[in-house]
Amino acid sequence: MITIINYGLGNVQAFANLYKRLNIAAAIATSHSDFSAATKLILPGVGAFDHAMELLDASGMRETIDDLVLKQGMPVLGVCVGMQILAPSSEEGKLSGLGWIDGRVRRFDEKTLRQPPRLPHMGWNDVTPKSGARLFSGLEQDSRFYFLHSYYFDCASSENVLATSEYGIAFGCAVRSNNIYGVQFHPEKSHNYGVRLLKNFAEL
C-alpha cells in the first residue's frame, strides 16, 4: 500500500488519483493510526522548509514515520519540500530537518542565472539520472519534469545524488540513501514522465 502522508502540505489527492488510475493501492494518512497497511511512503510538500517541519512535527505522525523509515527500512519518496526536509538543515530556515540524508538545502545564487525571471526556478526542465537508477527506469533519455523552487539539496556526498538538472548550475534534483528517495520536481504535475516515475517507485 502506497501511503501518502498528509501533514497539511502538498497536493496529496493528486498522488492518490494518479495511483488509482494506475490501479495501484494507495491511501492518505492523516494520523499515526493510518500506517498499518503501509508498504511505501510518499512525503509531499510545498512552501517553506521551517513551515513544513512545524506542520510535520505537529501532525502526530513524525515518530511513526521515523520508525517505519529508519528502523523498518520502508521506502519513502520525498517530493519538493518533502525532499528538502530530508536534509539536516536549510539556508531558508532555522529549524532542523529530518536529517535522513546528509547535506544542506541551499538557495540558488542569482548571479549564476542569466535570464529573468530568475527565481523561483519554475517550469519544465531536463533531468539526467544516474545510470542504473531504478527510480528512473524508462526515463534515461529525454525525460523532463516540472519544477517550482528557489532552493536545492546540496548533498554532502555525490553518492547520494540520483539525478541532476541545470539552472545556472548543475544541481542534484533527485537523491537517495538506501530506502530513502527524494525528488525536487513535481512528478504529479509532470504528465507521462511523472506517471512512470511514480509507477517505478511503487515497483521498487
Every domain of the chain and the residues it spans: 2-203
Phi, psi of 166 (to 5 degrees): -130, 135
Looking at residues 74-79, what average pLDDT do you find?
A: 98
Give the residue from 199, 196, 192 showing the smallest Cα distance to 124: 192
Question: For residue 74, what are the CA distances in angstroms to 11, 71, 126, 158?
Answer: 22, 8, 29, 23
Question: Considering the entire predicted model, what is its pTM?
Answer: 0.95
Categorize the per-residue pLDDT at 112 as very low, low, confident or very high, splitting at 50, 70 and 90: confident
Note whether 97 and 90 are within 8 A (CB).
Answer: yes
Q: Which of 166, 186, 191, 203 is catalytic?
A: 186
Note whether 174 and 181 are within 8 A (CB).
Answer: yes
Catalytic residue status for 155 = no
pLDDT of amino acid 80: 96
pLDDT of amino acid 180: 98
Q: Which of 80, 92, 149, 155 is catalytic?
A: 80
pLDDT of amino acid 141: 86
Note whether 108 and 39 are within 8 A (CB).
Answer: no
Note whether 49 and 20 are within 8 A (CB).
Answer: no
Residue with cell 519544477: 147
> Would you say residue 195 has pLDDT above 70?
yes
List, for residues 139-151, the tens digit of each pLDDT value. Answer: 988 899 999 999 9
Catalytic residue status for 186 = yes
Average pLDDT of the chain to the nearest whole number: 95
DSSP letter (8 states) at residue 144? E
Give the residue from 180, 145, 182 showing the smallest Cα distance to 45: 182
Looking at residues 121-147, what average pLDDT do you find?
A: 93
Top-level class of domain 2-203: alpha beta
Categorize the per-residue pLDDT at 119 as very low, low, confident or very high, splitting at 50, 70 and 90: confident
146 DSSP β-pair partners:
124, 186
